[in-house]
Structure 1
Amino acid sequence: MIKAKNIHKYYGNLHVLKGVDIQVNKGEIVSIVGASGAGKTTLLQILGTLDMASKKEDYTLEINATDLKLLSDKKLAKFRNEHVGFIFQFHQLLPEFTALENVCLPAFIKGTKKSDAEKHARELLDFLGLSERYTHKPNELSGGEQQRVAVARALINHPDLIFADEPSGNLDSESAEHLHQLFFKLREEFGQTFVIVTHNKELANMADRKLVMVDGNFVTSNKD
């Protein structure tokens, strides 16, 4: 699913990622943990093609055997839209749109017919327990509900891979627990692969693998 080798990232003279290697198999849930500033989010953004690795050193970055280094910006954006979903700590929902409209946005960008996009969005919202919230805007939803809308948006284009950056970091403990269980339910129902950056020890330890990042590289991989 993911094959990345020798990933470096520099911001000026600051060497943030120092030759990271990571491989993630289809259907796997992998957590990435470490102190703030270790490089976790930077790596997630590069794996998700939201940012680029530094080109000072040769590197490999493949998803589903597609060499992302060979894609033009336009093709990379298309690949990201069709194959990758994102879940962020602060939801990133557009406040002027309803839950249904927020979920549909990636499908509209893909070119999906409005009727088909809305039908699938309703199915996802129903699956996530939000069948009574189609027309509610983000400020009319609880934090947990907003995050579930964000999950539905991440799933709308049937992505192979979900990247989550501190997905429960802005939720109360009960909502966080429900979200964590949801990830495993989604893997079971839809075969999704997850890479999750988190400070939540419970979520990190639930994953199939836990990768620990220190000062720009992984130091250990375990299930403890």
Structure 2
Amino acid sequence: MITAKNIHKYYDNLHVLKGVDLHIKQGEIVSIVGASGAGKTTLLQILGTLDIPEKKENTSLELNNQNVLLMKDKALSKFRNKHLGFIFQFHQLLPEFTALENVCIPAFIAGNDKTITEKEAMKLLDYLGLSDRIHHKPNELSGGEQQRVSVARALINKPNVIFADEPSGNLDTASAENLHQLFFKLRDEFGQTFVIVTHNEVFANMADRKLVMVDGLISNK
């Protein structure tokens, strides 16, 4: 599902990623942990095609059997929209839109039919326990509800991979636990692959595999 080789990243003179190699299988839940500054979020952004690595010999990144480093911008954007989903610590819902409208946005960007998309979005929100909140705007939702809306948004295009960056970082303990259990339920029911950066050690240890980043490299495989 994901194969990355010799991934480097510099910010000015700072060498953040120093030749990361990894392989993640379809349907696997992988957590990435490490101290602040170890390169976790930078790696997640590159794996999710939101950033690009340095051009080095033997550097490659394959997602769903596609070499994304060879794609032009337009093709890459289309690939990202169709195959990848994102969940962030700060849910990044658009405040002027309802929960339903926020969930639909990636599908509308993909050019999907409005009626079919809204029906699918309502099914997802119902699945996530939000059927009575579909017409509420973000400021009318709790933190846990907002994060579940962002999960539905990440799922609307039925992506192969979900990338999550500290998804429970702003949630209380109960909401965080519910979100963590939801990821496993989604994997079991829909077969998605999850790559999750987290400081939550309990959650990290629940994953199928925990990768520890130290000074720009994965210290375990």
TM-score by length of 1: 0.98
1:214 aligns with 2:214: yes
- Give 1:75's aligned amino acid: A
Look up the match of 2:143: 143
Identical amino acids, percent of aligned pairs: 75
Is contact 2:33-2:198 (8 Å) kept? yes
Paired position in structure 2 for 1:94: 94
Q: Establish whether residue 177 from structure 1 lines up as the match of residue 177 from structure 2.
A: yes
For structure 1, the residue ranges without an aligned partner over 5 or more in a row are: none
Q: Using the TM superposition, give the Cα deviation of residue 52 of structure 1 relative to its aligned residue in structure 2, in angstroms.
A: 0.4
Structure 2 unmatched runs, 5+? none
Rounded to whole Å, the distance in 2 between the matches of 1:9 and 1:57 is: 13
- Structure 2 counterparts to residues 49-68 of structure 1, below 5 A: 49-68=49-68
**Number of equivalences:** 221
- Residue 8 of structure 1: SS of its match in structure 2? strand
C-alpha RMSD of the superposition: 0.7
* 1:54 Cα deviation after fit: 1.1
Runs of 4+ in structure 1 over 4 Å off: none
Q: CA shift at 1:58, angstroms?
A: 3.6
Letter in 1 for 2:220: T
- Matching residue of 2:15: 15
- The equivalences for 1:56-135 within 5 A come to 56-135=56-135
> Secondary structure of 1:220's match?
coil
Between 87-96 and 56-65, report the one with greater CA deviation. 56-65
Query: What's 2:200 paired with?
Result: 200
Contact 1:162 1:193 in 2 (8 A): yes
Question: Which whole-Å CA distance do the structure 1 matches of 2:56 and 2:5 have between them?
Answer: 14
Tell me which residue corresponds to 1:26. Answer: 26
Following the alignment from structure 1 to structure 2, what is the Cα–Cα distance between the partners of residues 113 and 193? 26
Deviation at 1:51, TM superposition (A): 0.3
CA shift at 1:57, angstroms? 4.3
CA distance in 2, matches of 1:205, 1:123: 31
The alignment's TM-score, normalised by the length of structure 2, stands at: 0.99
- Work out whether residues 39 and 216 of structure 2, in 8 Å CA contact, stay in contact via their aligned partners in 1: yes
1:206 Cα deviation from its structure 2 partner: 0.4
Is 1:158 aligned to residue 170 of structure 2? no
